[in-house]
Amino acid sequence: MGKKFVRAIFPGSFDPITNGHLDVINRGMKLFDELILAVGRSPVKNQLFTPEERVEMIAELIRQRRMPGVSVESFDGLTVEYAAKKKADFILRGLRSLTDVQYEFQLAMTNRAVAGIETVFIMTSEQYGFTSSTLIREVASLGGDLSNLIPENIYNRLKQRLKKSKK
């Protein structure tokens, strides 16, 4: 019997994608044959970049960093429905803090009960434990230096976007 092909989705808003996300992706690549970064279209969150822009920026990163088995696309609706459509075996989630653990645990239990899909958690590296896209947007809007927290091409796009929005 051959090795089972294992596909996972890593859902998120990725607005913008951070080095913390990339840390989880790089470690997830060792666990799965295919990892789909699923950019959610959230009507609730106040977003800086459109889902299309986020997919474009992430696709550029995947190309630059030569990440085999990693792809990106956006999706609407429930994550579990998207996972089923993609025939994903797992949902990958990154954990930064105890607060994340409580929320993610509840979500994982619900996803398993509703759709029978398992969630795999990866603890983010210590240096990214405090990083969130929301915090990144906040620091960027106040002119803070984020060069060590997000990839350079994303940082440049973020600075351009904030310049435009101030005009």
Gyration radius from the chain CA atoms: 16
Which stretch of DSSP H or E encloses residue 59? Answer: helix 51-64
Catalytic-residue membership of 133: yes
Is position 161 annotated as part of the catalytic site?
no
Task: Name the catalytic one among 13, 54, 93, 133.
Answer: 133
CB 16 within 8 A of CB 157: yes
- Angle between helix axes 152-166 and 133-141 (nearest 10 degrees) is 50
Q: Which of 42, 45, 65, 97 is catalytic?
A: 45
Select which of 21, 54, 93, 137 is catalytic.
21
Residues 163, 54: contact at Cβ < 8 Å?
A: no
Residue 121 bridge partners (DSSP): 93
Contact call for residues 155 and 148 (beta carbons, < 8 A): no
Q: Which of 54, 93, 96, 157 is catalytic?
A: 96
Q: Which residues are catalytic?
A: 21, 45, 96, 133
